Amino acid sequence: MIRFSLDPASVRETKRIIREYEQKVGQSAADSVIDIGREGARQAAQKCPPFGLSENIGNRFKKSIAKQVQRAVSHANVTGKQGDAARVHAGARDRKGQVPKGIRTEGQFKREPVQIRDKERLIDQKQAAAGIVKGAWIHAGTLLGRKAESVIGRKRVPIGQWIMRHLKRGKATVSKMGINTEVTLTNTVAWVRNLQSDSMLNSAVNAAFRARKKEMQKRLENL
């Protein structure tokens, strides 16, 4: 599980424009902070490896998954490492969860080959799980209520179905009132910590502030 918050301290530098936006546009300060929270959910999803949200990113990721499973199986076959496809794949992954390209994959087999059906089943399982962490962040954003389309991206590059099919495992809470509104987003996927560091989440928060601040300034300039 991992969470991040937009608290009064982090909102401080944007308070002036939020107050001006409230006076001139009529959107409450609380709703402006919540909008930043929705944008934060999208940014957290986008910055989770592999970077991006589009269907094309998902297709490339699935191809990469298949190649990595094949690489791990081939490595096991020629080095004699024992176990089924899932076990040899887990054993071949590095600290980032990737199967290195440089491992040995060619040569004479030193074990009974991993069954093709077993390998294909593992690929299907891994590809089906692609997008779960990203989907949890998007889910957290949609739980913030109105304007869920601002998380999903009606006027932006659409979020791919490889992510949208996993809209669960997110949590969102809103506390306090007005300019002191605090939004907390939580991703409850067990392995999210293996993919995202605190610095990645800080980057997502900063990107959310920049994006929403730019949108509010543009709206104010066009009044």
Identify the domain containing residue 103 by its residue range. Answer: 57-129
Q: Based on the structure, what is the number of domains in the chain?
A: 2
Residues 211 and 174 in one domain: yes
**What's the mean pLDDT in 60-65?**
97
Burial of 201 (0-12, 13-18, 19+ CB in 10 A): buried
Cβ(137)–Cβ(165) below 8 Å: no
Which of residues 80, 104, 129 is at a domain's end?
Answer: 129
Which of residues 129, 159, 188 is at a domain's end?
Answer: 129
Confidence band of 164 (pLDDT split at 50, 70, 90) = very high
Q: How far is CA 203 from CA 4, 144, 159, 190, 197, in A?
A: 11, 21, 20, 21, 10
Residues 212 and 154 in one domain: yes
Q: What is the greatest pairwise CA distance in the chain?
A: 74
CA atoms within 13 A on the CB side of 219: 17
Q: According to the model, what pLDDT value does residue 151 have?
A: 60
Q: How far apart are CA 157 and CA 186, in angstroms?
A: 24
Residues 143 and 201 in one domain: yes
Residues 86 and 112 in one domain: yes
Residues 14 and 119 in one domain: no
Share of the chain above pLDDT 70, in %: 93
Share of the chain above pLDDT 90, in %: 74
The SS3 assignment for 104 reads coil
Burial 34-72 (b: 16+ CB within 10 A, else e): bbbbbbbbbbbbbbbeeebbbbebbeebbeebbebbbbb
Residues 140 and 181 in one domain: yes
Which of residues 85, 113, 129 is at a domain's end?
Answer: 129
Residues 96 and 178 in one domain: no
Confidence band of 100 (pLDDT split at 50, 70, 90) = very high
Q: According to the model, what pLDDT value does residue 154 have?
A: 56
The H-or-E segment that residue 184 falls in is: strand 182-187
Residues 14 and 69 in one domain: no
Take residue 94 and report the two structure tokens written for it. 């590095």
